[in-house]
C-alpha cells in the first residue's frame, strides 16, 4: 500500500489490500467520500484496457483482514467498482442498475447509521426487548458511559526501552462459520443455523436495530445496500485471554466500531475525503459545517460558560468530527487513568511543600533516579 504525504490518497501495485481510517464510528450517523482516481476507464478506446486497476470502498471493523478487500469477511461491508455490486462475506450481489460501473472521477459517498451505545449494550448483553426498546433515544445517552479499559502490557525492547503492547481483537469462530457455513449445521452450537438478529443466542451474531449503510454516487442517493449491521461491542468482539496472554474478557479499549475502509488492486487508486467540506454534500448534511464564518458565542466576564448541547444521533455528521471527539475522549480517559493509578498508590499528596526541609539523598539514589 502506498500513501501520499496527506495520507488521504492510496494505491497499490499488488493484489487487493485494505487501508482503513484510524477513527471508528461507534454510534450516530456519519458520512465520508471516496473519489476514484485510477480504476475502471470512462472512455474505453478500441482494443484498449478495461481499467487501470480496481477500487472497493466501505466500512470495516478492527477484526477485518487488511490482506483482503473490504467486504471479504463478516467484519466489513463493501462496494465493488465493477457493476457497483455490494459485497459482504465475499458474496457480490447486484446493487447498482445493470451495466453501471464506478468509473474514474466518480465520487462515492458512504453513510452509516448506528444506534446509541446504550441500546448497543442491551443487544450484546441479551437484554434487548423490541417492544420496549423499539424507539432508541434520539440524543446521546448521558446516564451511562462506556466502560473503556485501555490495558497495555509493558515489555522491554532492546533491554533498555520500555514499550507497551496493545491488545488486538481476533476473528471469532461463529463469524468464520457464518462466512463459510458447514452443511452439517446440526453439529454446530445451539442457534448456529439461525440467521443473525438482535436476539440471537450467540452474541457475535446479534445485529443492531436501525443500523444501515447508504451509498451515494456523485451526490445522488443510490440506495441502502446493507441494514442490520453486526454488533461490535464485547462480547460480540473479543480479545480473549486464551488467544492473547493477559487480555481480559469483555475488553473494550475504545477502538471498536466501524472504520472507513478502501481497498485497491494493481494500480487502482482512490482519494478519501472525511470532511467537513465535501465534493458532493448529501442532503441532510448541515451546509454550515466547516464554514469559516461560523459565529462565536461571546460570554460576559463572570457569566457561566454555555452548556454544550447533546448531538442528535439522527443528525448526519462528517467523519472528521469523529476524530475531534476521539481526541477529547482520549484526554478524558487519560485523566481517569491518572486518578485510578493515583488511588492505587494510596491517594497520597506527593507534592513537596515549598521551603520544606529536603531529605539528604545518597549518591546511589540520585543515580537511580537519573537512570529512570
Q: For each of the chain's 372 residues, which pLDDT tens digit applies?
A: 999 999 999 999 999 999 999 999 999 999 999 999 999 998 776 666 778 999 999 999 999 999 999 999 999 999 999 999 999 999 999 999 988 899 999 999 999 999 999 999 999 999 999 888 866 555 555 556 778 888 777 888 888 888 888 788 889 999 999 998 766 554 445 445 789 999 999 999 999 999 999 999 999 999 999 999 999 999 999 886 565 666 677 889 899 999 999 999 999 999 999 999 999 999 878 654 444 444 444 545 555 555 555 677 889 999 999 999 999 999 998 898 889 888 888 887 766 556 655 555 444 444 444 444
The domain total for the chain is 1
Pairing of strands 316-318, 28-38: parallel
Q: Give the span between the Cα atoms of 271 and 284, in whole angstroms.
A: 23
Q: Is residue 158 part of a domain?
A: yes
- Report which of 57, 61, 140 is spatially closest to residue 317, judged by C-alpha positions: 140
Q: Is residue 273 part of a domain?
A: yes
* Cα Rg, the chain, nearest whole Å: 24
Q: Is residue 292 part of a domain?
A: no
Q: Is residue 359 part of a domain?
A: no
Indicate the pTM of the whole model. 0.84
- Report which of 199, 234, 207 is spatially closest to residue 126, judged by C-alpha positions: 199
Q: What is the pLDDT of residue 224?
A: 98
Determine contact, residues 253/167, Cβ cutoff 8 Å: yes
Q: What is the pLDDT of residue 66?
A: 93
Q: What is the pLDDT of residue 250?
A: 80
| Residue linked to cell 458565542 | 297
Q: Is residue 70 part of a domain?
A: yes
240 C-beta neighbours (distance < 10 Å), count: 17
**CA distance to 310, 328, 347, per residue, from 116 (Å):** 13, 18, 35
Q: Is residue 160 part of a domain?
A: yes
Quote the domain boundaries for residue 212: 2-282+311-318
Q: Is residue 48 part of a domain?
A: yes
Q: Is residue 332 part of a domain?
A: no
The CATH number of the domain holding residue 99 is: 2.60.120.920
354 CB contacts (<8 Å, ≥6 apart)?
none
Amino acid at each position: 500500500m502506498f500513501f501520499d504525504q496527506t495520507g488521504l490518497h492510496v494505491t497499490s501495485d499488488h493484489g487487493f489490500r485494505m487501508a482503513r481510517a484510524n477513527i471508528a464510528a461507534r454510534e450516530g450517523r456519519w458520512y465520508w467520500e471516496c473519489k476514484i482516481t485510477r480504476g475502471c476507464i470512462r472512455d474505453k478506446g478500441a482494443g484498449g484496457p478495461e481499467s487501470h486497476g480496481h477500487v472497493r470502498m466501505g466500512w470495516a471493523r478492527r477484526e477485518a483482514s487488511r490482506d483482503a478487500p473490504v467486504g471479504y469477511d463478516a467484519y466489513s461491508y463493501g462496494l465493488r467498482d465493477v457493476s457497483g455490486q455490494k459485497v459482504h462475506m465475499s458474496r457480490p450481489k447486484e446493487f447498482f442498475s445493470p451495466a453501471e460501473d464506478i468509473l474514474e472521477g466518480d465520487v462515492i459517498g458512504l453513510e452509516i447509521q448506528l444506534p446509541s451505545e446504550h441500546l448497543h449494550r442491551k443487544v450484546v448483553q441479551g437484554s434487548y426487548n423490541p417492544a420496549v426498546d423499539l424507539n432508541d433515544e434520539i440524543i446521546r445517552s448521558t446516564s451511562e458511559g462506556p466502560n473503556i479499559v485501555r490495558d497495555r502490557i509493558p515489555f522491554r525492547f532492546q533491554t533498555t526501552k520500555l514499550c507497551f503492547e496493545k491488545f488486538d481483537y481476533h476473528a471469532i469462530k461463529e463469524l468464520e462459520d457464518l462466512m463459510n457455513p458447514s452443511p452439517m449445521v446440526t453439529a454446530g452450537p445451539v442457534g448456529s443455523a439461525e440467521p443473525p438478529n438482535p436476539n440471537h443466542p450467540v452474541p457475535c451474531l446479534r445485529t443492531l436495530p436501525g443500523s444501515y449503510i447508504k451509498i451515494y454516487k456523485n451526490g445522488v442517493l443510490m440506495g441502502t445496500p446493507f441494514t442490520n449491521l453486526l454488533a461490535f461491542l464485547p462480547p460480540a468482539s473479543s480479545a480473549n485471554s486464551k488467544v492473547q496472554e493477559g487480555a481480559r474478557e469483555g475488553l473494550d479499549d475504545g477502538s471498536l466500531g466501524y472504520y472507513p475502509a478502501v481497498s485497491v488492486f494493481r494500480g487502482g487508486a482512490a482519494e478519501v475525503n472525511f470532511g467537513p467540506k465535501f465534493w458532493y454534500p448529501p442532503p441532510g448534511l448541515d451546509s454550515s459545517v466547516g464554514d469559516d464564518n461560523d459565529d462565536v458565542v461571546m460570554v460576559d466576564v463572570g457569566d457561566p460558560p454555555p452548556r454544550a448541547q447533546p448531538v442528535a444521533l439522527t443528525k448526519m455528521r462528517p467523519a472528521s468530527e469523529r476524530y475531534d471527539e476521539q481526541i477529547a475522549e482520549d484526554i478524558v480517559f487519560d485523566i481517569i487513568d491518572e486518578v485510578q493509578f493515583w488511588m492505587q498508590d494510596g491517594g497520597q499528596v506527593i507534592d513537596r511543600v515549598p521551603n520544606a526541609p529536603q531529605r539528604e539523598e545518597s549518591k546511589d539514589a540520585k543515580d537511580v533516579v537519573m537512570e529512570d
